[in-house]
């Protein structure tokens, strides 16, 4: 599971097998990927946007998969990274909005929860849809909607992010409506599989 590197230890390649096995068992990626591809095809086209599938891993959000066009600058794809504190990302806040206040406070701590509470109220009023701009990278706007389990708690989120998306960061934009429909369909399919 770990290997020595000089005077320290790092996660070894066996951890990749565990992570991949967990991801495969959850069916999240396999279920959501066709919907992500559909959003990419129908709404993104040649625009500099990325469609991502994310999941919650303790108090972080992890990008499970992402699809981008050749028009997305590589520094945005690489520079954004693949994991974030759950309360500091659009997809994470979208997922947190499905949890009880007590569960959120237990997950991220009371201080972070209290800072987040006003924003959570807005996200909850939008049925879990979250929007953000310039959070991880200047000029990049993001929208996310959660996949929810049978208990109503998020298991992941579908995300659209990129350059030029800011005018569409509202519930009535065609891409936001498509994102909501897709994430809700993923939720239904995941429920049917349980």
Q: Are 186 and 147 in contact (CB under 8 A)?
A: yes
Instruction: Give the DSSP H/E element, type plus range, for residue 162.
Output: strand 154-163
3-class secondary-structure state, position 9: strand
Percentage of the residues of the chain whose pLDDT score is greater than 70: 86
Q: Are 104 and 130 in contact (CB under 8 A)?
A: no
Kindly report the backbone phi and psi dihedral angles of residue 33, in degrees, each rounded to the nearest multiple of 5, phi listed first: -55, -45
DSSP tag of 99: S
Supply the angle between the helices 14-26 and 28-39 in degrees, to the nearest 10: 70
Residue 76's pLDDT is 76
3-class secondary-structure state, position 132: strand
Residue 61's pLDDT is 94
C-alpha closest to that of 173 among 49, 78, 23: 49
* Superfamily of domain covering 27-192: GAF domain (3.30.450.40)
One digit per residue, the tens of pLDDT, for the chain of length 194 reads: 656 667 776 665 565 555 555 555 468 889 999 999 999 999 998 999 999 999 999 899 999 999 988 888 887 777 666 889 999 999 999 999 999 999 999 999 999 999 999 999 999 999 999 999 998 888 999 999 999 989 999 999 999 999 999 999 999 999 999 999 999 999 999 888 76
For residue range 49-82, list pLDDT tens digits in order. Answer: 999 999 999 899 999 999 988 888 887 777 666 8
Gyration radius from the chain CA atoms:
17
């Amino acid at each position: 599971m770990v290997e020595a590197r000089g005077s320290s230890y790092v996660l070894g390649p066996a951890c990749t097998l565990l992570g991949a096995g967990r991801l495969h068992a959850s069916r999240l990626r396999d279920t959501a990927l066709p919907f992500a591809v559909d959003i990419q095809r129908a709404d993104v086209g040649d625009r500099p946007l990325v469609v991502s599938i994310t999941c919650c891993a303790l108090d972080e959000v992890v990008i499970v998969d992402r699809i981008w066009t050749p028009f997305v600058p590589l520094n945005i794809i690489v520079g954004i990274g693949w994991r974030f504190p759950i309360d500091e990302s659009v997809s994470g806040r979208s997922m947190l909005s499905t949890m009880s206040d007590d569960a959120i406070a237990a997950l991220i701590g009371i201080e972070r929860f209290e800072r987040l509470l006003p924003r959570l109220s807005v996200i909850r009023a939008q049925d879990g849809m979250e929007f953000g701009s310039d959070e991880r990278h200047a000029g990049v706007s993001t929208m996310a909607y959660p996949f929810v389990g049978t208990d109503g708690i998020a298991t992941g989120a579908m995300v659209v992010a990129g350059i030029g998306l800011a005018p569409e960061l509202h519930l009535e934009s065609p891409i936001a409506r498509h994102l909501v429909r897709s994430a809700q369909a993923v939720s239904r399919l995941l429920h049917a599989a349980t």
